[in-house]
């Protein structure tokens, strides 16, 4: 290999190295950004009273709570319908 060939090869390798350094910096910045976003989400979960390490269990609890509230609402609406029904019948007479 001649000096010129070695010089060209060095330039190509150096350009590759610079490109890799730039790409690593981009990746590092993205990782920092994602870590910051993750921390914000974890903090938000905690501030709302949820355990971010056990979200599946937290969702299960919320689902059960919602099902209970829907059952209660249905019961209350049925009771209200039963109470209003005689009044509506009197009005229609």
pLDDT reported for residue 19: 97
Tell me whether residue 57 is exposed, middle or buried, using C-beta atoms within 10 angstroms of its C-beta: 0 to 12, 13 to 18, 19 or more. exposed
The pLDDT tens digits along the chain (93 residues) read 899 999 999 999 999 999 999 999 999 999 999 999 999 999 999 999 989 899 899 899 999 999 999 999 999 999 999 999 999 988 888
Are 45 and 52 a contacting pair, CB within 8 Å?
yes
Cα–Cα distance between 25 and 53 in angstroms, integer? 30
């Amino acid at each position: 290999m001649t000096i010129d060939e070695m010089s060209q090869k060095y330039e190509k390798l150096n350009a590759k190295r610079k490109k890799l350094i730039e790409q690593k910096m981009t990746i590092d910045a993205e990782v920092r950004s994602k870590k910051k976003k993750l921390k914000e989400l974890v903090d938000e979960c905690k501030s709302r009273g949820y355990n971010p390490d056990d979200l599946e269990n937290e969702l299960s609890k919320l689902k059960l709570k919602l099902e209970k509230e829907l059952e209660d609402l249905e019961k209350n609406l049925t009771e209200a319908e039963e109470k209003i029904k005689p009044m509506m019948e009197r009005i229609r007479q």
